[in-house]
Chain A
C-alpha cells in the first residue's frame, strides 16, 4: 500500500531557529512530491519536486528530493512566528493519470517569539 510518512509530527522552536521537516514515501508509481503549508484554512502550495538533488528555494524556505532514498526535506531558516502552521507533504501517484495525491499526516510547527 502506498504511504507517505512525515516526521516529526510536531515541533516547537523559537524565532530565528532553523528547522528541517522530513517526508519519506513508499509509492509504487511516483510522479512528484509536493509541499503545502496549512494554517487555519486552505493548504497553500510551496514546492513541487520531480528530480533528485535539485534544490528548490523560495525566500527562507527550501526543499530537496532524494529519489534513491525515497525522501524529501523542507528547510526553514530564521523562522518567524508567521511560519507556525501544519506542513503537509504529498506524493503524486501516476498510475491512474488522475493527478492523485497521497498525503502524509503533516508536521505541526509552532514558532515562539
Chain B
C-alpha cells in the first residue's frame, strides 16, 4: 500500500456514458497528478494539481475533466469517451510543489475499457 487509493479498479463504459474516477491520498501531500498508461507507451501526464489549483493541463481533450475539491481528493470525470481512451489511469501524489524534488507515490490505477 502506497497511501494512495483509487476507485473503481476496473471500469467498462460505453461511448455515451458519463463516469468518474476517484483518487484519495492519505499521506498529507499537497500535489496530485493524473497519468494515462497505454500499452507499449510511456506514462503520459494528464493533469497536475498543487494546493487544489490546477497547474498543468497537458493538452488533454475536454472529454476528460479533473476536479480537486481538497488536497486529499482528486477526481477525473469522463464523458463521451472514445475506444482509444481505454488505458490504465494512474493517480499520484507528492509532498511538495517545488519542481520535481519529491518522489511521487502512485495509486493502483483504474483499468478503463471504452466499448
Known contacts: A34-B103, A42-B107. The answer to whether A100 contacts B45 by CB under 8 A is yes
Residue A111 lies at the interface, judged by CB distance under 8 Å to chain B: no
Q: What 1/0 mask marks residues of chain A from 98 to 111 whose CB sits below 8 Å from any chain B CB? A: 11111111100000
B56 proximity list for chain A (CB < 8 A): 96, 98, 100
Interface size grouping (class) on chain A: 20 to 34
Residue B27 lies at the interface, judged by CB distance under 8 Å to chain A: no
Q: Is the CB of A31 within 8 A of B42?
A: no
A91 proximity list for chain B (CB < 8 A): 100
Within 8 A of B (CB), among A61-113: 88, 90-94, 96-106
Q: Is the CB of B103 within 8 A of A48?
A: yes
Q: Which of B11-19, B60-68, B78-86, B89-97 contacts A (4 or more CB under 8 A)?
A: B89-97
Q: Is the CB of B45 within 8 A of A101?
A: yes
Q: State the interface size on chain B (CB cutoff 8 A).
A: 30
Known contacts: A44-B2, A96-B56. The answer to whether A106 contacts B104 by CB under 8 A is no
The complex places the Cα of A93 from the Cα of B100 at a distance, in Å, of 6
Q: Which of A4, A36, A45, A101 contacts B100 (CB under 8 A)? A: A101
Name the CB-closest residue of A to B107: A42
The complex places the Cα of A66 from the Cα of B114 at a distance, in Å, of 42
Question: Can you list 25 A-B pairs with a CB-CB distance of less than 8 A?
Answer: A31-B99, A31-B100, A32-B100, A34-B103, A42-B107, A42-B108, A43-B106, A45-B105, A88-B43, A90-B43, A92-B99, A94-B100, A96-B55, A96-B56, A97-B55, A97-B97, A99-B31, A99-B94, A99-B97, A99-B99, A99-B102, A100-B45, A100-B56, A101-B100, A102-B45
The 7 closest A-B pairs by CB, nearest first: A92-B100, A94-B99, A42-B106, A103-B43, A103-B42, A31-B100, A98-B48
User: With contacts A43-B90, A99-B102, A100-B45 known, what are 6 further pairs, Cβ within 8 A?
Assistant: A34-B103, A41-B108, A42-B109, A43-B106, A103-B44, A106-B42
